Amino acid sequence: MTVISKQLFEQACQDTDCHLLLHYYQPSCLQSIPETFKNSLIGSTKFYTIVYIAQILARGGKMRKKKEWVKMGDYFLRSTIMGALISTTTAVFGCTLRKLMGNKFTYYTYLLLPNMLNGLFIYMEPPSRRGLVINLFANLLIEFYLNSLSRAGYLTITKSKITFMFMVGSALLFYLMRLEGEREQRTPLFWIYTPERVRRKSDEFQNVCPHEGSCQKFIAKGSAKYFGIGLAISMARLILPKIRTPLRAISSIRSKHFKMALFFSSYIGIYRAVICYLCRKKGFDSALYALPAGYLAGLSSIFSPSLGISIAALTGAFKLYSTILYEKKILPTSIPLPELLYCFCQGTLFNARFLHAEVCPSYMFNLMDTVSNGVSKVLYENMMNEIKKVT
């Protein structure tokens, strides 16, 4: 994998037929659309099945209600169709723009512009989920830019820096989440853990901590629950792609597949332990306790350091803070800034997966390869073959 410049791409691919770079299975642009949509629908279903299994596990007891399953089913259908349409129109818009440019590909009209345009399909997601998707893509864009700076020698990314970033992000995020806990309507945010509301002195509870029962049981229960969630997600990612050979998938389990479980478990355990300690020591609960609790809980990142998750903690905190900015009329509500940001992020990241593969976040490879049902891998190989002809 390498970074492909504008000059190199246009030298190698400007006059390449579009079926090689967008729909290799059918020479005709129009006749390729049904096959493109079929592949996209199959791939999108595979991708979002894993995503929603993870979200259902994370919601835990909330899924006991029938209406929650109905809502999840509606969300799953919307997301799957959105993914299929984005993947399909990548080829459709790419071919259309090539025709408009005199049957020539350009660096900007191959993937960048088509995937900015079809980013408008984000409106298929309900507002409560839309913000989560936008936040994810903003995280990935920041990760891409940081990787680019690192490759250029302007920045060095180490495990210790990633862990520190996660510690700071967790502290700010948990603090803002506890501040927002008093609201009737909270900002939609998908995070590993939603902290308990601050227990006020006026509340008629004997326990000063934000839970019932003993602190030891509260901490142990949370750690065990999130160990199970982390393990379930890891096993799903390992076994589902190999569902036809489950025994082979199970036999491939290694110690590394327990890293996420240890990360989740220690993250929640440390956070709860610090909160309980401070509540007992001071004799009352406070949102401020989330700052040291979140900071120390961030040490759990050593089990599974991830630049993407560290960025997500910081951007999650910014998202909560932006809610305050909207309420104070500092940010305008008349302009759809989040949706425009998503269009920019999607176009840049889809383009990066092909032309800046060396620094593109790994999540984008999994996303595009799965949703396209493996088509993007073949298209990338075709593009690289064209590049090799001129290098």
Per-residue pLDDT of 75-97, as tens digits, reads 999 999 999 999 999 999 999 99
Q: Give mean pLDDT, residues 199-208.
A: 72
The answer to whether residue 333 is domain-embedded is no
Tell me the C-alpha to C-alpha distance, in Å, between residue 263 and each of 39, 118, 135, 270, 312: 35, 36, 22, 11, 15
**Are 150 and 110 in the same domain?**
yes
**Are 170 and 149 in the same domain?**
no
**Are 281 and 203 in the same domain?**
yes
Where a domain ends, among 328, 358, 378?
328
185, pLDDT greater than 90: no
Longest Cα–Cα distance of the chain, Å, equals 76
Residue type, 115: N
Q: Give mean pLDDT, residues 12-31.
A: 93
**Are 265 and 184 in the same domain?**
yes
53 confidence band (pLDDT: 50, 70, 90):
confident
67 confidence band (pLDDT: 50, 70, 90):
confident
Q: What is the pTM of this model?
A: 0.81
User: Measured between alpha carbons, how far apart are the two ends of the chain, in Å?
Assistant: 14
331 token code pair: 């940010």
363 token code pair: 């999540």
**Are 79 and 215 in the same domain?**
no
The answer to whether residue 239 is domain-embedded is yes
Strand partners for 3: 356
Count of CB atoms situated within 10 Å of the CB of 224: 13
pLDDT for 1 equals: 57
Share the mean pLDDT of the chain.
89
**Are 101 and 17 in the same domain?**
yes
Where a domain ends, among 328, 346, 379?
328
**Are 134 and 209 in the same domain?**
no
The tally of CA atoms less than 13 A away on the side-chain side of residue 205 is: 15
In the chain, what percentage of residues exceed pLDDT 90? 62
pLDDT for 325 equals: 86
277 token code pair: 């300690």
**Are 175 and 298 in the same domain?**
yes
Asked if 22 contacts 379 with a C-beta cutoff of 8 angstroms, the reply is: yes
74 confidence band (pLDDT: 50, 70, 90):
very high
The answer to whether residue 286 is domain-embedded is yes
82 token code pair: 């959105």
pLDDT for 57 equals: 77
- From 67, 316, 325, 318, select the one nearest 195 (Cα to Cα): 316
The answer to whether residue 167 is domain-embedded is yes
- From 369, 367, 364, select the one nearest 381 (Cα to Cα): 369
172, pLDDT greater than 70: yes
* Residue-wise pLDDT tens digits, 111-140: 999 999 999 999 999 888 888 899 899 999
**Are 117 and 211 in the same domain?**
no
273, pLDDT greater than 90: yes
Domain count, the chain: 2
223 token code pair: 């750690």
Provide the domain limits for residue 58: 1-157+338-391
Question: Residues 156-165: contacts with CB within 8 Å, 24+ apart?
Answer: 157/307, 159/302, 159/305, 162/301, 162/305, 162/306, 162/307, 162/310, 163/298, 163/299, 163/301, 163/302, 163/305, 163/310, 165/307, 165/310, 165/311, 165/313, 165/314
**Are 34 and 143 in the same domain?**
yes
